[in-house]
Amino acid sequence: MAGELVSRHDDSQPFIGRLVPALGRRAALAWADGRAALSHLTALDVWGLYQQAPGDLLHLTTPSASGLRSRPGIIVHHRQGFRLDPPHVRIRHDLPATRLEAALVDSWPLLPLADRHGPVIRAVNERLTTPDRLRAALTPLPRLPGRAPLRTLLTRLADGCRSPLEIWGHEHVFVGPGMPKLHRQFRLRIGQRSVYLDLYAEHERVDIELDGAATHGNQRQREIDLRRDALLATAGILTVRFSHRRLVHEPDKVRRVTLAVLASRR
CATH number of 179's domain = 3.40.960.10
**Domain match, 155 and 173 both:** no
Asked if pLDDT for residue 227 goes beyond 70, the answer is yes
Identify the pLDDT of residue 138.
Answer: 97
**Domain match, 53 and 75 both:** yes
**Domain match, 152 and 173 both:** no
- Which of 70, 98, 126 represents a domain boundary (last residue)? 98
**Domain match, 3 and 94 both:** yes
**Domain match, 205 and 223 both:** yes
Residues making up the chain, counted from first to last = 266
Three-state secondary-structure class, residue 238: strand
Partners of 79 in beta bridges: 63
Identify the pLDDT of residue 10.
Answer: 56
CA distance 172 to 247: 9
**Domain match, 212 and 122 both:** no
| Global pTM exceeds 0.85 | no
Partners of 209 in beta bridges: 241
- Which of 159, 183, 202 represents a domain boundary (last residue)? 159
**Count of domains for the chain:** 3
Residues 157-171 pLDDT 10s:
998 888 888 888 888
Give the structural domain span for 181.
Answer: 166-264
| Burial of residue 85 (number of CB atoms within 10 Å: 0-12, 13-18, 19+) | exposed
**Domain match, 3 and 26 both:** yes
Asked if pLDDT for residue 63 goes beyond 90, the answer is yes
| Burial of residue 65 (number of CB atoms within 10 Å: 0-12, 13-18, 19+) | exposed
Mean pLDDT of 48-73: 95
Strands (E), the chain: 37-38, 58-63, 74-79, 89-92, 95-98, 183-190, 193-201, 206-211, 238-243
**Domain match, 117 and 208 both:** no
CA distance 216 to 98: 36
**Domain match, 144 and 202 both:** no
Q: Is residue 136 very low, low, confident or very high in pLDDT (cuts 50, 70, 90)?
A: very high
